């Protein structure tokens, strides 16, 4: 099974120069915990509800803080034609629950979440990813 078969296609992008309040409102409206961040038609980061809490609120920053100040700038992504099994392993290794999906021109076309994998894949790929994601620490830890 390939990524394009299970990904979420309706993707909203936060602007790097908008406020975290605007990003949080967009997340709330979408019932989503993360958003890709774009600037000048390029994917420049990801912002999560956890980024807002740990990098902004916990640090005493206000709702007018710009998204680019608290987002994760190291964007990991996958391609629409990759196999779910391979991408799930990568998600576990990287300890991330959501990956932007790009086409061969590296244009954003979707998001692949662990939930997408869990509801579609029957080969245990979600379990493999979750086992890796659930390890303590990792490159995206907010405490390290």
Residue 129 CA to residue 108 CA, distance in Å, equals 22
- Determine what percent of the chain is predicted with pLDDT higher than 70: 83
Rounded to two decimals, the pTM is: 0.79
Residue 104 to residue 82: CA distance in whole angstroms: 11
For the cut 60, the answer to whether the pLDDT of residue 125 exceeds it is no
The per-residue pLDDT for range 68-124, each reduced to its tens digit, is 999 999 999 999 999 998 998 898 888 888 999 999 988 999 999 988 888 876 556
Residue 56 is predicted with a pLDDT of: 97
What is the per-residue DSSP string for 84-137? HHHHHHHHHHHT-SEEEEE-TT--EEEEEEHHHHHHH--SSHHHHHHHHHTSS-
Strand 98-102: give its sheet, edge to edge.
Answer: 78-79, 98-102, 108-113
Give mean pLDDT, residues 13-31. Answer: 97
Q: Are 4 and 35 in contact (CB under 8 A)?
A: no
Q: What is the CATH number of domain 3-133?
A: 3.10.580.10
- Domain boundaries of the chain, sorted by first residue: 3-133
């Amino acid at each position: 099974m390939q990524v394009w078969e299970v990904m979420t296609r309706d993707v909203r992008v936060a602007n790097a120069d908008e406020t975290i309040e605007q990003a949080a409102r967009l997340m709330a409206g979408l019932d989503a915990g993360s958003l890709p961040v774009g600037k000048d038609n390029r994917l420049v980061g990801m912002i999560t509800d956890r980024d807002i809490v740990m990098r902004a609120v916990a640090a005493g920053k206000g709702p007018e803080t710009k998204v680019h100040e608290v987002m994760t700038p190291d964007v990991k992504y996958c391609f629409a034609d990759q196999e779910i099994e391979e991408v799930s392993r990568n998600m576990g290794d990287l300890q991330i629950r959501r990956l932007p999906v790009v086409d061969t021109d590296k244009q954003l076309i979707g998001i692949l979440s662990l939930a997408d994998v869990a509801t579609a894949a029957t080969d245990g790929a979600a379990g493999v990813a979750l086992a890796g994601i659930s390890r303590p620490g990792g490159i995206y830890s907010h405490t390290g």
